[in-house]
Structure 1
């Protein structure tokens, strides 16, 4: 069995309250908060590389039980008015499956998501062919 190895990071964005944002960030497994060197009012989310390496989908309690995490919805509540955070993730399970996606969330909680798999639908919509194989095995 192959492990998924991913990398993830966000763009830089401003938050409403740095203290609350950092406390929230401490509850996110594998996520690191850093700030922009040239503008200390802008922050970035980074995911430690290694097995997994992707955005967390659950939060663990003291007993080790996992509860669902809406990372993008929770992040929206920390964004300063008018800010947009874009979270990107790329990774692979060996070279069997490649993944790449980005989710943009604004301070109102609205989201836009794109995936590299969107290309298959775009090719079909363009009428380029009916027999399009997947880049996976």
Structure 2
């Protein structure tokens, strides 16, 4: 059986309170990158999936990364979270989600290419898997 290998990160975005953002990220062992006064996030080093697997350490409940980031975003900033992974050459999965400070979101997945190809070329292509 093959193992899933994934990777994730965010774009650079502005936050309204740098200290509160750093404290929140530290709580989940997220790696913070900084460039030109903006921050980006990488998943914690020992993530099982390579993605943002956020859990409350006290209750073991899942957290929504977009919801959490939105609380920290500056009013004019948009965070983009990207994640992709594979299980050997069996399949590739990926998604991206953008969120603003009000929690409004838009999401796309790599699988959407099949419908886009059908609409453009009039035929559904075979899937890039197995």
Are 1:83 and 2:84 matched, yes or no?
no
**Residue 108 of structure 1 corresponds to which residue in structure 2?**
102
Greater share of strand residues, 1 or 2?
1
* Paired residues, number: 129
Query: How far, CA to CA, are the matches of 1:50 and 1:135 in structure 2?
Result: 26
Q: Where in structure 2 are there 5+ consecutive unaligned residues?
A: none
Contact map agreement 1:6 1:90 (CA 8 A) in 2: yes
Structure 1 position 68, deviation (Å)? 1.8
Contact map agreement 1:5 1:92 (CA 8 A) in 2: yes
Q: Where in structure 1 are there 5+ consecutive unaligned residues?
A: none
Are 1:69 and 2:49 matched, yes or no?
no
Are 1:54 and 2:51 matched, yes or no?
yes
Query: How far, CA to CA, are the matches of 2:83 and 2:22 in structure 1?
Result: 21
What TM-score do you get using the length of structure 1 for normalisation? 0.83
Q: Deviations over 1:1-53 (max 9, x none)?
A: 22111111111111011111111112335x311211xx1x2101012487521
Contact map agreement 1:11 1:87 (CA 8 A) in 2: yes
